[in-house]
Amino acid sequence: MEVGFPELLPAATQSVRLCRVRPDEKVVVYTDTSTDAAIPEAWYAACVVEGCDVVLIRGQAREVETDPPLPAIAAMTEADVVFDIPSVDDGYAPSLPAILASGTRVLQILLPRESVIERAPDPENSWRADASELLMKDANEIRIVTPEGTDLRATLAKDRPLDVARGYVREAGEWDSYGTDLIAVSPIEGSVHGTIVFNGPLILFPQFTFSPRAPIRVEVVEGRITEMAVNDEDGRKLEWWFAQWDDPNAYVFSHIGWGLDPRADLSVYELTAWESYDGGVMVAFGSNTSGALRGEVQSQAHMDGILLGASLWLDDLQVIEGGAFTDASGLRPRSRSTGSAR
Amino acid sequence: MDIGFQALLPAAVRTVDLCKVRPDERVVVYADSRRSAALPEAFYAACVARGCDAILVRSLVQLVATDPPRSAVAAMREADIVFDMVPVPWSDYAPAINEILASGTRVLAVPVSDQSFVDRPPDPDVLWRVDVAEELFAHSTEMHVTSPEGTDLWAHLREGVLDPGRGFVWKPGQWDSCGVISITTASHIEEEMRGTVYFNGPMILLPEYEFVTSRPIKVQIEAGRIVEIEADHPEAQLFTRWMQGWDDEVYLISHLGLGLDPRARVDIHRDPPFLHDTEWESINGAVVLGFGTKTESMADEVRQSRGHLDAVVLGATVVMDGRTIVEQGSFTEESGLGSGGR
């Protein structure tokens, strides 16, 4: 189905309502010149439908994780809510923490048109995010294992927030990304230790997004990649991607967590779906200073890797076994099967 | 009429160049939902062509002389220059303009239709006239205006800020309106102005009315204030009612000046939602009187009123310090403004 403005508007309207945008709130829709214009126009119209005196701001397309122009930052800082609709990820842009600190809540929308509709926030699934948050907040240690050889441990910091992505924002200073349904946390960076074998989708902005044909093994010591087994073209891509930043922080562990959206389909090229893949374990390197994570690693680099078929423990509780949530976790989806809703 | 982006771009580039926009400057192009996309896009493209990281800000339509949403104001305050494309003017009299200009932002209002922008762009063949008129006003202390209908008005011109309208801005905190080619004085003008005026031309009574009066409207002015309106015909009665709808300050003279653009005409084609005001205030040799609000860009002092009107006297004779500058609507040779071009 070809999706246009009329199809996008109901999804945008639902999003605005889930964000509890009030008519008296100051709303900014931010976008750039490379974004599909129908999406920001749909959010703009949705805000108008809800009675808001909304402002649409368009900047030039930028590099990944870079700030918009200063006047746009000023407008966002002044706003109550920002619908941020860029063409590339800016969730780790340096200006974002200050914008959030001003009380602005920010919802990033970084999906193609079809996914905006097909993977709108699902209130029927949101209990799993709540349950995940309860599990994670009391845990001290996280461990992941995969059949290919992943075996990684990390200590969780009690003073860092949990990034519970539901796809909408309600609280002042909150950040979220539409279409993401996951939980993530930045552990104490120096505590991360072990082996990761990437066997699923890799999101290497801005150049590469692919699933490696053969697993790629990296060694992590005290939170930093110290060794990478480069055996093929995909491995060389990964190695080159890290090296291009010329930034030691690119190699530092960023966050860890799991996906919760049974509708997410890995066969569809849609990055938030990859991150949200139900039972997928996400590990990331590079920046983790976003408002939702509040880690200590500042870098222009940020990558995400999804481990498939992984097992995950929080302390002694096994949450995921072979890519599926355990009964003990209480996170098995109700009356839905994994895979695409298409 | 939609004349298109390509036709508008050269004049937009010329205007951006006259405004001496540098690549490192923060540029905001502001428009509302009533303005078609072509002219804002032309200015945006002109700024990008000059190397600027410009942003385009769009809001809903606001009432005349009403502030934009606060987020848009914040963006403008942070900018070095704002190109304001809103068709119905706000930035000449809305409260927020003073804080925007005080931050050092220069603002060029472009409230003209696309056709008018192409027909009357800033042009060196016209702009020299503003320099000559500015010199004339700077060295004059008294203005006497008469007309065949019976206008007989005296004004003492105080030393202070002059407001020459060139249609471009190049200094911090400067405001101008594209399409207005005129010279205006406003500083303390109300302190010594008296006499009779017959408005016999365009009347700009925002937001409701814009018309060329079919019969002269006689007003009596004492100490810079309209003290009597002879409501002896329907247009004069409408004028009286309009004045009564505001506050006491609307009866006070705001500015006094002369139009300087030989290209400007009375009988211009109406192209809603655009007003005639910029063209009517620029009619060569016309005397323009404004009442009500006065802003920092016009004078040494600020006066807030809920209302502002501009009224034009055609075919007048203007004597400044004993020298006849305009005779029956035409600049004299003695004024230095007698020729149409240079």
Q: Where are the beta strands (DSSP E) in chain B?
A: 27-32, 55-59, 81-84, 106-109, 142-146, 152-156, 162-165, 175-177, 182-185, 193-199, 202-205, 209-212, 217-222, 225-229, 253-259, 287-294, 303-313, 317-320, 323-327, 330-331
Interchain contact, B75 vs A74, CB within 8 Å:
yes
Of B68, B69, B78, the CB nearest to A71: B78
For residue A37, what pLDDT is reported?
93
Identify all chain A residues contacting B53, using CB atoms and an 8 Å cutoff: 59-60, 69
- CB distance from A57 to chain B under 8 Å? yes
Assign A269 a pLDDT band (cuts: 50, 70, 90).
confident
* Helix A5-18, helix A38-49: angle, nearest 10: 50
Beta bridge partners, A57, equal A30, B57
Residues A66-105 have pLDDT tens digits of: 999 999 999 999 999 999 999 998 988 999 999 999 999 9
- Distance (Å) of CA B298 to CA A54, B97, B189, B279, B293: 31, 12, 11, 19, 10
ipTM: 0.77
Beta bridge partner(s), residue A141: A155
| Amino acid, single-letter form, for residue B6 | Q
User: Is A71 in CB contact (< 8 Å) with chain B?
Assistant: yes
Chain A residue with minimum CA distance to B71: A75
The shortest CB-CB distance from B58 to any of A56, A70, A78 is to A56
Contact A78 B73 (CB under 8 A): yes
Helix (H, G, I), strand (E, B) or coil at B316: coil
Residues of chain B contacting A31 with CB distance shorter than 8 Å? none
pLDDT, residue A301, reads 93
Distance CA A109, CA A87 (A): 9
Is omega for the bond preceding A147 within 30 degrees of 0, making it cis? Answer: no
A63 touches chain B (CB under 8 A): no
On chain A, the residues whose CB falls within 8 A of the CB of B54 are 59-60, 69
The rounded percent of chain A whose pLDDT value lies above 70 is 97
Q: How many residues does chain B have?
A: 342
pLDDT in tens, chain B (342 residues): 568 889 999 999 999 999 999 999 999 999 999 888 999 999 999 999 999 999 999 999 887 778 999 999 999 999 999 999 998 777 777 889 989 999 999 999 998 889 889 888 888 889 999 999 999 999 999 999 999 999 999 999 887 778 899 999 999 999 999 989 999 987 777 778 999 999 999 999 988 888 999 999 999 999 999 999 999 999 999 999 999 998 898 999 999 999 999 999 888 666 766 777 889 999 999 999 999 887 666 666 666 777 889 999 999 999 999 999 999 999 999 999 987 554
Q: Report the predicted TM-score, pTM, of the whole model to 2 decimal places.
A: 0.81
* pLDDT band at residue A342 using 50, 70 and 90 as cut-offs: very low
Among chain B, residues having any CB pair with chain A shorter than 8 Å are 26-28, 48, 53-60, 68-79
**Which chain A residues have a beta carbon less than 8 Å from that of B103?**
none
Nearest Cα neighbor of A47 from B63, B59, B28 is: B59
Q: What is the pLDDT of residue A339?
A: 41
**Is A21 at the interface with chain B, CB within 8 A?**
no
Task: Give the helix/strand (H/E) hosting B13.
Answer: helix B5-18
pLDDT tops 90 at residue A2 = no
Instruction: Work out the burial of residue B66: count CB atoms within 10 Å of its CB; fewer than 13 is exposed, 13-18 middle, 19 or more buried.
Output: middle
A32, closest residue in chain B (CA to CA): B55
Domains of chain B plus CATH, in order, are 5-119 (3.40.50.2300), 124-331 (no CATH)
pLDDT the model gives residue B267 = 81
Q: What is the pLDDT of residues A164-204, one digit of tens each?
A: 999 999 999 999 999 999 999 999 999 999 999 999 999 99
Residue B296: the pLDDT is 64
CB-CB neighbors (< 8 A) of A86 in chain B: none
Best B28, B52, B53, B71 residue to mutate vs chain A (most A CBs within 10 Å): B71
The Cα–Cα gap between A64 and A259 comes to: 23
Nearest chain B alpha carbon to A70? B78
B27, B73, B75: residue with CB nearest A57 = B75
| Residues of chain B with C-beta less than 8 angstroms from the C-beta of A78 | 70-71, 73-74
| pLDDT given for residue B269 in this prediction | 67
Which chain B residue has the Cα nearest residue A75?
Answer: B71
From CA A271, how far away is CA A112, in angstroms rounded? 10
The residue whose two tokens read 């974002």 is: A96
Are the beta carbons of A60 and B58 separated by less than 8 Å?
no
Residues of B in contact with A48 (CB under 8 A): 60
